[in-house]
Amino acid sequence: EVQLVESGGALVQPGGSLRLSCAGSGFTFSDYSMNWVRQAPGKGLEWVAFISSRSASISYADSVKGRFTTSRDNANSLLFLQMDSLGDEDTAMYYCSRGTSMAPFTSMLYWGRGTPVTVSA
């Protein structure tokens, strides 16, 4: 069974940093691209970042570019999101998701339950 489990969400002060993790299991992690998607309270879905299966291709939403960095450790089936210079607008539930297929650009078939990030003084 495919599982994605996010961790690392917390209450952090404006300007602070946080590192989220996503542990994958039940599939060959290194075969699939991964995404981070967030959802602010009461709002819609916002795509945050994409990383291809071997990290050759990485991209970010304009709203986080230069502040967030995604990476992966295929040996340990882990995905990371390093978030720096956090602001109120980054408060959200953060989901990791796995691509539907092994194609580079693909929809998101599997999702974790999310980890909450709150940026507040």
Partner 1 sequence: IVLTQSPDTLYLSPGEGATLSCRASQAVTASYVAWYQQKPGRAPRLLVFGASTRATGTPERFSGSGSGRDFTFSISRLEPEDFAVYYCHQYGGSPFTFGQGTRLEMK
Among 5, 54, 73, 105, binds partner 1 (CB under 8 A): 105
Q: Say how far apart CA 57 and CA 37 lie, in whole Å.
A: 17
Q: Are strands 11-12 and 115-119 parallel, antiparallel or unpaired?
A: parallel
By the rule CB under 8 A, 24 interacts with partner 1: no
Q: Say how far apart CA 88 and CA 16 lie, in whole Å.
A: 11
Among 11, 45, 88, 102, binds partner 1 (CB under 8 A): 45
Residue type, 78: L
Number of residues that bind partner 1 (CB under 8 A): 22
By the rule CB under 8 A, 27 interacts with partner 1: no
Q: In the bound complex, what is the minimum distance in angstroms from residue 18's beta carbon to partner 1?
A: 20
Residue type, 13: Q
Phi, psi values for residue 19, rounded to 5°: -120, 120
Among 32, 50, 68, 94, binds partner 1 (CB under 8 A): 50
Q: Token match 């974790």: residue? A: 112
Among 10, 23, 40, 61, binds partner 1 (CB under 8 A): 61
By the rule CB under 8 A, 114 interacts with partner 1: yes
Q: In the bound complex, what is the minimum distance in angstroms from residue 89's beta carbon to partner 1?
A: 16
Cα-based distances in Å from 117 to 3, 38, 59: 21, 10, 21
By the rule CB under 8 A, 8 interacts with partner 1: no
